[in-house]
Structure 1
């Protein structure tokens, strides 16, 4: 039997028209994605997204609108589950208190699980800036909006 893995992500765009990306490494796998992660059992999408931002970014966010939900088959890169991802436009309630990086994978410490954050100008964002197929689709949609 195959399982579903529900993921929820926030598209956080600052006043400089930059979007927040998360560089991550877990157990030897490196990837770049939007902030967010897996929904926990018993949790709604928006509650899950808010929890993920508190856990990852130490920040509370307000969800402004739905942006995209996966509409094609995506197999997990880590197991045999099918990925369903939901993306929301969010804004931070308070200023973010993070150490922002400039280059990908610039981690402050070495461990089994590492994460760093970067702002990327929307005008310079490309599909190559993210790793996973649904994130690439979202980048294409963001690029279309800019036209």
Structure 2
């Protein structure tokens, strides 16, 4: 009975595989949104002010960073919790693939969230004349919460690994 339970628990990791596959659909959706925004930017380029164009470009950077985060979570999560990705010898292999454990994945996710939050905050600062001061304060507080959380996660992780 114990062996059956252990095998069942171990094999249940495959329930995560469709979830990681679903993230690839989210990457496709993000790619569609990215190219929709590029399309709008190209048709509005001559009517946009410099600040408006920078805001649109920051939105594109934001989408690209979220896409990178999705790929990192999808591939590293699959490798860490489900099964190794078998990349054929002739095929290009990402240099970080197989080297990121769950701890380093958490750190990279936290850093990505801080970077994405930074872009959102920069966008708010660029349109500061139309943003309520109280809302701006909350954007900064939320961003600093992300920064502090990422820092503390990294600090605690080094303390735990150091012991």
TM range (shorter): under 0.3
**Relative to total residues, which structure has the larger strand share, 1 or 2?**
1
Using the size of structure 2 for normalisation, the TM-score is 0.20
Using the size of structure 1 for normalisation, the TM-score is 0.21
| Structure with the larger RCO, 1 or 2 (CA within 8 Å, 6+ apart) | 1
**Relative to total residues, which structure has the larger helix share, 1 or 2?**
2
